Chain A
Amino acid sequence: MARAATVRHLLKEVPFFVTKEMKKILLTFLAVTMLLTLAVGIVGCSPQPRLRVATTTSLYDTGLWSYLEPMFEEQYGVELDIICAGTGIALEYGRRGDVDVITIHSRSREEQFVAEGYGVERVPFAYNYFLIVGPADDPAGIQGMTPEDAFQTLMETQSGKLVSRGDDSGTHGKERAIWAAAGYDYETVTASGNWYIEAGRGMGPTLLMANEEQAYTLTDMGTFLSYTGKLELVPIVEEGDILLNVYSVIATNPQMHTEANFEMASNLINFLTSEEIQKIIGAYGVEQYGMQLFTPGAGVEPTG
């Protein structure tokens, strides 16, 4: 009883705040907030046209995109937004219509993407080769083998560690293709022990991790060369048809984009495959690394 009385007393005392005035204050605050959000929105959206590109990490970590970006922007008067992501998420951005163009390297998934109607056409524009790098003393003795034999040796002897991208990227897809070619079920490989490390990260971090772990890893030539000086890893296996790595550009989902965006996406594809830019891609990094990072590949798709 006493308690009920207290509560009643409190209730009588408390409602001072549930007044119209309080509601007015709240509404004013909300209105101000909305106005501010709107203002930020207007400031945030620049009038210049933007083209969004999602790219696989290797084309970004090598610095190629940063190098080409100003050239394209100048030529077409557009703001190029480059989003660096693995092949998996880049394809997802494309599927959802969040980017206008993707540049990736996973042929089967690209073909599927186009077949499902999310992409217009797969246009190869450059290639290089994957290679297996590892510690200079080559603990598993796989130097000079084919990639398939090298993987088989690693699996059977487990005499060295292998760091996998493990992130559903183009490089990870290539690694799985090599496992399949070597006659292994990928599930058995991942479950076979501590020697197999799934990094779940981009190419650069994976290389740095392999370096720390004194492990082998599959990498594209471009990223490996651009990390020269930061790694003690050396090339171990470089020969094999399966190691071919083709980069292509795809304009995404035209029904989700404005005409202007789609036109600009086509401009980007024409730009990348133009004779002038192809030459620039071929020459990129040669001076710095003493060898070619990317071979121009517009129009011709090498088959190993």
Chain B
Amino acid sequence: MTEIWSGFVRAIELIISLDPEVMEIAGKSLMISVTSTLLASLICLPLASLIHFNRFVGKRLLINFIQTLYSLPTVVVGLFVFVFFSRAGPLGGLDIMFTPTLMVIGQVFLILPILLGLIISALGGVDRPLIDTAFSLGASSFQAAVIILREARYAVVAAIIMGFSRAISEVGLAIMVGGNIKGFTRVLTTAISLETSKGELELSIALGIILLAIALIVNLALNRLQQR
């Protein structure tokens, strides 16, 4: 039990002293997950609108399928990405195995279903009369989309927070396609996993607390977006 307290103290020490290695790892974690969340959001916003506002056969089924993918284990996504991008795989020529780039790509695939599913639900929560009013007042469909997104922003931002949380907390994919290379693809979660396997429990807990601190900052920033 003492490890938890000393881990907490260690976390504060590491943050105050701006330990260069820890800062580098934390920065990389933040950069990779923010990038992948941004990319996934850019893909999901229009895609979710398309799915939500169109009627087509199998729509319900598609949404069920998307929701099923929420349960995709991170190592399974990692495995797929690995098989595709490994040098012997179909996209091996890109030579991006064991790089932060591939970690971003993997995380985009990982959080895509959650973002897509939750944004579709978010759009579903918008009042129908509001949309009708917008159009009757002569809004173009782009203007209408903006109005709807504004109206749904609480739920949309909640979806983005969820996606970011999954991205920054996952470890299976990061180890599988990143390789946990010191100074290159090592992020907080893979560092925690390594330190735990070395029996450095105190440092592991400290890194875990730093991860939560980063998540808190990102959440606060996104919440400001929600309130606008």
Taking Cβ atoms with an 8 Å cutoff, the residues of A that contact B are 10-11, 13-14, 16-19, 21-22, 25-26, 29-30, 32-33, 36-37, 40-41, 44-45, 52, 61, 66, 69, 79, 81-84, 95-98, 201-202, 204-205, 208, 227, 230, 256
Contacts and interface: CB of A to CB of B under 8 A. Distances in A.
Interface stretch (B84-92, B160-168, B205-213): B84-92
A10 B131 CA distance: 13
A25 B142 contact: yes
A204 B198 contact: yes
Secondary structure dominating the interface of B: helix
11 contacts: A10-B55, A16-B53, A16-B135, A22-B49, A36-B42, A44-B99, A45-B96, A61-B198, A81-B98, A201-B197, A205-B196
Contacts of B50: 17, 22, 26
Contact of B141 (A22, A30, A37, A95): A22
A96 B198 contact: no
A230 B199 contact: yes
Contacts of B179: 52, 81, 83
Contacts of A13: 132
Contacts of A16: 53, 135, 141, 144
Contact of B199 (A10, A44, A204): A204
B140 interface: yes
How many B residues are at the interface, by size bracket? 35 or more
A151 B140 CA distance: 78
A222 to B, nearest CB: 13
Given A44-B100, A256-B87, A21 B141 contact: yes
A17 B180 contact: no
B198 A97 contact: no
Given A37-B39, A41-B101, A14 B53 contact: yes
